[in-house]
Structure 1
Amino acid sequence: MSIHEILERYWGYSRFRPLQEEVINHVLAGHDALALMPTGGGKSLCFQVPALAMKGICIVVTPLIALMKDQVENLKARNIKAVAIFAGMTKREVDIALDNCVYGDIKFLYLSPERLMNELVKERLRYMPVNLFAIDEAHCISQWGYDFRPPYLHLSELRELHPQVPFLALTATATPKVVNDIQEKLKFRKTTDQAVFVKSFSRENLAYMVIAENHKTGRLVKIIKKIKGSGIVYVRNRRETQEITRFLLMENIKADFYHAGLSTPERSKKQEAWKQNQTQVIVATNAFGMGIDKPDVRFVIHMDIPDTLEAYFQEAGRAGRDGKKAYAVLLYNEEDKERLIRNFELSFPTTKEITQIYYHLGNYFQLAYGAGQYLCFDFDIGTFCKRYQLEPLKVISALKFLERDEWLAVTENVYLPSRFRFEVGSQDLYSFQVAHANLDGFIKVMLRAYGGAFDYYVSFREADLARKGGLSLHETLNHLKQLEQYQIISYLSQTDKPQIQFLQPRSDSQHLHIDKKHIDERKKIGEEQLQSVLNFLQLDACRSQQLLAYFGEKNVELCGICDYCLKRQKKAKEEEIEDLIVAEIIDLLSTNHLTLDALVDGLKTGDESDRITCIRNLVDGGKIKFNSGKYYL
């Protein structure tokens, strides 16, 4: 099939969006490419379409597990075979998934970058008929980027496995320095053809507003009621999501809150209600938004200053994807600026503090020195910080530096449903049923409901299994545990927590190498990013021009709709009115001496306030005179 037939058959579109077709044809010609497309620009089709046009399997690397799972489900819904491997899955589950990719007809394998550091995964990739490597969120490979992730530095090793397979790197935000860094780190092969495809970051329908405001909640309500429509309000922490939501509800605004601490079913329910416009406003931390494709968002309001312009641009860009007028509003005060600077300092712990946090991690997970390599644990950062009296932001930053030096890997909240797999063949299972009559009926229910469980892990809900077997939930759990003890099944109960994995055996402080030079370099980069944010708040210039210049687009016109441009237009209009009033005053006084009332009433332009102000200015400037209650030239 041609790429246009693939687009029509699987996605129902008759034509590609701007830049998509150029990227696809470049990749199909066997060339490496970097595609920069703003949020909502259709990046995923740039690798999904060419992968379907070629024989073999596409390897997709992304750090966003929620997005990874969404894309796999979306592809399956279109009858395209796809699987995902990420932290939290057992070695056996990974093994089965990789086997299906080597010997089956899987078209897409989604991997987290941490998984690519595993030698077993790399070795199996060698035997897969790979047609394309797609690197999503490619800015994560650059230390100049706003979300540097150390495991990305190993991605160029994939070239050793399949030297002729092209790389397609994709990102929504990258400065010119990051664009160069991505190509260098991924070892792009030099060709005469253009390797970088950039869709302009300009959003002509999006009005950026930056407002200094001490009473932010009051201003928030006014903005929402004036703009109307669906929107997102970004706040700093989980507590604030609930506080702001309560405030909005009291103002009769349909609002709900969202943060990473909610269970996956809760998050899905809230997200769906907002997407269906049953909820007008979602108040969220920055955990909300990735993979959300809601075109009719009329406003995105930031109640706090974002850490970087990249993060701000991506979050603000979730407004107005339908091309209609939308607003990105940033509310801030002096206290917010001080907090931003204070948080920046907390983001760079000393090597001594990092070593101490690593020591606490070992104790928290009860690991002996020299043990724990590749072990994966659920990790509740709140509980950890409380136990050891630690500052959460400092811990998060320490974990990133420990990741950089490959001591451990940390992943976002990941929801894994309960799943099981039969560990014996059908003949041995039948013999077990004969010998254990008390479990025979339960096993028959499992076989009827989940027939594929001999070949792979199947997802299920314990409550559903209980209902099908006519048992209580307690009885069902007991039966599952018994079967596990007899080694008839592998049973994994659901989890919904971030994961932390030790990549090396636990080390003592003498042998724990922390790269101080890298920390110092990151701090220098961070200082530049911080200053860019502060400049964005303070500079008297077009907001859109400032953002576009940051991403390398120079000499662009004023947007005409941001707060700066509107003030500029208002001032120009006021000056024009003033000039007309002055001309009228001179004309009236050229033949008469007039009282204030007669002069004001004789003017046709402006309101009374404008006219009186002009008269006073002309007197103060000595251009007209006042004597005996009358004005004259």
Structure 2
Amino acid sequence: MIEQALKQYFKFDSLRKGQREVIENILNGHSAAAIFPTGSGKSLCYQLSALLLPHLTLVISPLLALMNDQLEFLSAKGIAAASIDSTQSPEQMHHVMQRVRRGELKILMISVERLKNERFREFIAHVPISLLVVDEAHCISEWGHNFRPDYLKLPHYKKSLNIPQVLLLTATATEAVIADMCSKFAIAKTAVTLTGFYRANLHLSVMPCVEGQKIMALEKLIKQAPRAATIVYVTLQKTAERVAKRLTQAGIQAVAYHAGLKSDVRESIQQQFMQDRSTCIVATIAFGMGIDKADIRCVIHYDLPKSIENYSQEIGRAGRDDKPAQCITLANMDHLNVLENFVYGDMPDQSAIAQVVDDIYNSTGDWEVVLNQLSRDYYIRQLPLKTLLVYLELKGVIAALYSYFASYRFKFIESATAIVDKFDGERRVFVDAIFTTATQARTWYSLDFDLLWQHYHAPRQRVVAALDYFHENGWIDLQTKQCTDVYKVLSRQIPREVLTADLYQLFVQKERSEIERIHSMVDFFQSSQCLSFQLARYFSDEKAPQHCGHCSVCKGHVAKLSVPQLPKVHPDQINNWLHPFISACPHKASSEVLTRFLCGISNPLNSQIKANKMAGFGQLERYPFQWVKSQVDALLTP
């Protein structure tokens, strides 16, 4: 059965290592996890399984580019698959939903955020689903390199949607992360498949390079093989633009790619690269997740990557045709602080955490949250704010009930009378009530859920389902605004001060873990052991050779990275930079808040008071965060 589907749809004669084990686990009714290196065929495990399962396979994918790439592949194989995503028009979305309702699709791909959508959950709850697939499943672990709080809700969604099985897919998970993500879905150890991490065709090199000479070194490397498909990874958008410009001036066909470009421009750059119309992309980590180009011959890290996990993911895009590929890091410590500042910028102040706790404890009834408003009110970035809410759930203080849109509005395509006339009896009364209680403003009508409940006992969920049904049939045009998350307050037993301190310590531990991850990466690049062996061992592959013979260490070149010498800064100068910021702050600023200002780290507070317009903003961005904080602490000490 497996071989027949493999040949019929994918035109393959045999499966790769590990694939059969994963697929058989799924077909035998077990949940499973596949830990395969990048480019080793994880996707086929769910694609083939989906064809042999009776109902829909729902795939959670973290990036639109990844979805599009996989959908294009499935379409070419004649497999009925589609996505629901933010780029689609209402008509396109409804067409996909109708195909799902009719059972015409085998695979539906969505982002994890789609499950927060009240209307989507109402729709998908009535669809039989055989398998939930979580791509990039390491995102579910706090100790993973790309933790996303929304992923923590996936076990709850699996249960509430009555999905019998789950398949977790990832290329970059340490032993601790594998254990964590499997425990969240109760996946047995016997259903975890690790195929090994070592790839013999990847030649890893670390080249120590002072900052001022990096661009010349990069030009030289690319000119050695000018027609080879190459990705150059950088940390910042402005670096991508600057480096691409310099390479172009040197006669190298290079294009910058980053999240600041418009989506159609990014799409065009990707297509040119895939079709060999451009050979060199200078990119931030925004590039690559949706790229499945087999003949990338070179991946160069112009800046240090964010972690060993990111490094392995990025070099994993090279040499997928199993031919030799170069993976080169132009390494120095000059911008190590930039990586650290990404971490320090996500740390909420203890006073901000206390304000959120007060908000919960002072609430009456359910606690309702509009995330971006809460972020602005308490000066916490949205990602750590989501993490804070998850921590509060794990401590049993709150429980997520549901999310809804604060406002629904519609306009008639068919007349109200014509729509009401399509129904009889109680349904006719219910539909008429929806329209007669709505408030009209020119052509748009706003829903009043409270009025519908008071006079007609019409539950919100039923009203939303009805509106979606009318919209799908083309009778009304429907719009929603401002997502609100609703939580039940379970307990106020923990003293506020104790809870605040405990939550703050969780963030301190997470921050420490992230900083240690960065320094583990620096230690890896300076290792005197075989780089290929060290990398494989980091990802629990004990079968890799201890000497690959072709990395820079095996060739006798152990990297030593020097720490940059920065000019001294007088305390009076720091004080002068801080004075306008302190005056503009709406409350007393902690030393961490002041340090973020001097290091040029953006956050809701700095945005609100327009800190980036002040002379001191970012003046110490080249200096280590902890050193800057020590200077600020000294100034604040009486």
Distance in 1 (CA, whole Å) between partners of 2:557 and 2:283 is: 33
Distance in 2 (CA, whole Å) between partners of 1:426 and 1:39 is: 54
How far apart are residue 41 of structure 1 and its match? 1.4
Name the residue aligned to 2:519: 531
Alignment match of 1:547 (pick from 519, 535, 540):
535
> Structure 2 vs 1, CA of residues 137 and 259 (structure 1 numbering), >3 Å: closer, same or farther?
same
CA deviation string 1:161-218 (max 9, x = no partner):
466722211101110111111110112257xxx2111121111011111121011101
Distance in 2 (CA, whole Å) between partners of 1:350 and 1:491 is: 37
> Structure 2 vs 1, CA of residues 133 and 401 (structure 1 numbering), >3 Å: closer, same or farther?
closer
Name the residue aligned to 1:401: 387
Name the residue aligned to 1:480: none
Alignment match of 1:204 (pick from 200, 203, 225):
200
Indicate the SS of the match to 2:553.
helix
Correspondence 1:312 to 2:300 = no
CA contact (8 A) 1:85 1:97 kept: yes
Name the residue aligned to 2:575: none
Indicate the SS of the match to 1:516.
helix
Name the residue aligned to 2:24: 25
Indicate the SS of the match to 1:566.
coil
CA contact (8 A) 2:69 2:291 kept: no
CA contact (8 A) 1:87 1:115 kept: no
How far apart are residue 349 of structure 1 and its match? 3.4
CA contact (8 A) 1:138 1:169 kept: yes
Name the residue aligned to 1:503: 485
How far apart are residue 112 of structure 1 and its match? 2.1
Name the residue aligned to 1:271: 270
Indicate the SS of the match to 1:298.
strand
> Structure 2 vs 1, CA of residues 343 and 54 (structure 1 numbering), >3 Å: closer, same or farther?
closer
> Structure 2 vs 1, CA of residues 66 and 342 (structure 1 numbering), >3 Å: closer, same or farther?
closer
Indicate the SS of the match to 1:567.
coil
- In structure 2, what residue type is equivalent to 1:197? T
Name the residue aligned to 1:221: 219
CA contact (8 A) 2:68 2:290 kept: no
CA contact (8 A) 1:406 1:504 kept: no
CA deviation string 1:221-242 (max 9, x = no partner):
1111124411000111111111
> Structure 2 vs 1, CA of residues 89 and 371 (structure 1 numbering), >3 Å: closer, same or farther?
farther
CA contact (8 A) 1:93 1:457 kept: no
Q: Percent identity?
A: 35
> Structure 2 vs 1, CA of residues 350 and 314 (structure 1 numbering), >3 Å: closer, same or farther?
same
Indicate the SS of the match to 1:248.
helix
Indicate the SS of the match to 1:564.
coil
- In structure 1, what residue type is equivalent to 2:239? E
> Structure 2 vs 1, CA of residues 566 and 376 (structure 1 numbering), >3 Å: closer, same or farther?
same
Name the residue aligned to 1:56: 55
Distance in 2 (CA, whole Å) between partners of 1:266 and 1:357 is: 40
CA contact (8 A) 2:50 2:106 kept: yes
Name the Cα RMSD after superposition.
4.4
Name the residue aligned to 1:333: 332
Correspondence 1:148 to 2:136 = no
Superposed counterparts of 1:224-623, under 5 Å:
224-228=222-226, 229-352=228-351, 395=381, 398-399=384-385, 401=387, 404=390, 423-424=413-414, 456=472, 489=477, 501-504=483-486, 515-554=503-542, 556-557=544-545, 558-567=547-556
How far apart are residue 27 of structure 1 and its match? 0.9
Unaligned stretches of 5+ residues in structure 2:
358-363, 394-409, 420-468, 490-495, 559-638
CA contact (8 A) 1:125 1:161 kept: no
How far apart are residue 315 of structure 1 and its match? 0.5
Name the residue aligned to 2:134: 135
Name the residue aligned to 1:416: none
Distance in 1 (CA, whole Å) between partners of 2:188 and 2:38 is: 27
- In structure 1, what residue type is equivalent to 2:292? D
CA contact (8 A) 1:421 1:454 kept: no
Distance in 2 (CA, whole Å) between partners of 1:457 and 1:206 is: 54
CA deviation string 1:294-348 (max 9, x = no partner):
1111111111111210011000111111111111111122312344344443342
Unaligned stretches of 5+ residues in structure 1:
359-368, 408-419, 430-452, 459-486, 493-498, 570-633
Superposed counterparts of 1:183-198, under 5 Å:
183-188=182-187, 194-198=190-194
Name the residue aligned to 1:608: none
How far apart are residue 428 of structure 1 and its match? 6.7
CA contact (8 A) 1:421 1:455 kept: no
Distance in 2 (CA, whole Å) between partners of 1:36 and 1:53 is: 22
> Structure 2 vs 1, CA of residues 103 and 406 (structure 1 numbering), >3 Å: closer, same or farther?
farther
Indicate the SS of the match to 2:329.
strand
CA contact (8 A) 1:257 1:282 kept: yes
Name the residue aligned to 1:469: none
Distance in 1 (CA, whole Å) between partners of 2:25 and 2:476 is: 51
What TM-score, normalized by structure 2, do the two folds share? Answer: 0.65
Distance in 2 (CA, whole Å) between partners of 1:100 and 1:122 is: 16
CA deviation string 1:524-557 (max 9, x = no partner):
3213312311211222221111111111123632
- In structure 2, what residue type is equivalent to 1:210? V
Distance in 2 (CA, whole Å) between partners of 1:121 and 1:218 is: 52
What TM-score, normalized by structure 1, do the two folds share? Answer: 0.66
Distance in 2 (CA, whole Å) between partners of 1:130 and 1:377 is: 33
- In structure 2, what residue type is equivalent to 1:401? T
CA contact (8 A) 1:227 1:298 kept: no
Indicate the SS of the match to 1:295.
coil
How far apart are residue 404 of structure 1 and its match? 3.9
- In structure 1, what residue type is equivalent to 2:509? E
> Structure 2 vs 1, CA of residues 96 and 278 (structure 1 numbering), >3 Å: closer, same or farther?
closer
Distance in 2 (CA, whole Å) between partners of 1:248 and 1:216 is: 12
**Deviating more after overlay: 2-11 vs 207-216:** 2-11
How far apart are residue 145 of structure 1 and its match? 0.5
